[in-house]
Amino acid sequence: MTGAALVSGLDYAAVAVFALTGALAASRSQLDIVGFIFVASLTAVGGGTLRDIILDRVPLWVSDPVMLLVAAVAAVLVFLTAHLLESRYRALEWLDAAALAIAVPAGVGVALSEGMGWPVVLVMGMVTGCMGGLMRDVVCNEVPMVLKQGELYVTCAFAGALVAVALGAVGVAGWAALTACAAVVFVLRAGSLALGWRLPVYRSRPPRAPKR
């Protein structure tokens, strides 16, 4: 598989899985079928669109409108089956973890294909992975997963992108570096969900009373 085909495949997979999470969020908000398709599509292409605009590329769904069809099909599927899930939010969390692990290497791969330096590659990996979910949660009036207290989310995206950049710098093949990126992202996110891995959070302290 060529580098361009690999990145395109990652973009398609990220669109499909992120669309499922968007539709699950729509089900929690009890939206109609049009709302499902809208939220699913926004989630599916939001991060990739922002990435492409920043990199001065034609947005992925404009150059390949089939991606919107993929998102719409995912939305309809969830609309018909979401009631069968024991916990829609738990399913959303794990699908989101999978989508994050696909989208980050997709963003890294696109930035590398455009000849960007490593700081831009890191940011594009995080943007592609995180922004669609952020849009989904804001639109559905949920606390954004990226901002949940102490949870590993943006950290996962950053770590995965950093691993890909580091491996590429020492001559590891592109597909292997992107695979390692996906693995790091998913392991960290899964650890946060299943094992409670957290970052320390800021705790305000009242000012000390002045000494007399």
State the Cα–Cα distance between residues 126 and 144, nearest whole angstrom: 15
| Percent of the chain at pLDDT exceeding 90 | 87
The runs of H, that is alpha helices, within the chain are 3-28, 33-54, 60-63, 66-81, 88-113, 118-139, 154-169, 174-194
pTM for the predicted model, two decimal places: 0.93
Question: Comparing 20-34, 120-134, 142-156, which segment has the lowest mean pLDDT?
Answer: 142-156
**pLDDT class for 204, splitting at 50, 70, 90?**
confident
pLDDT for the residue numbered 208: 72
Stronger pLDDT, 6 or 100, i.e. the higher one: 100
- The average pLDDT across 155-162 equals 97
List the structure tokens of 86.
């024991």
Provide mean pLDDT across the span 58-79. Answer: 96
147 contacts 201 by C-beta, under 8 angstroms: no
User: Rounded to an integer, what distance in angstroms lies between the CA atom of residue 109 and that of residue 3?
Assistant: 8
- Per-residue model confidence as pLDDT tens digits over 87-110: 999 999 999 999 999 999 999 999
| pLDDT exceeds cutoff 70 at 2 | no
Question: Is the pLDDT at 209 greater than 70, yes or no?
Answer: no
Give the phi and the psi of residue 99 in degrees, each rounded to 5: -65, -40
Give Cα separations from 47 to 8, 30, 52, 117, 210 (angstroms): 15, 24, 9, 20, 50
Domain chopping of the chain, boundaries = 3-194
Average pLDDT on 40-53 reads 97
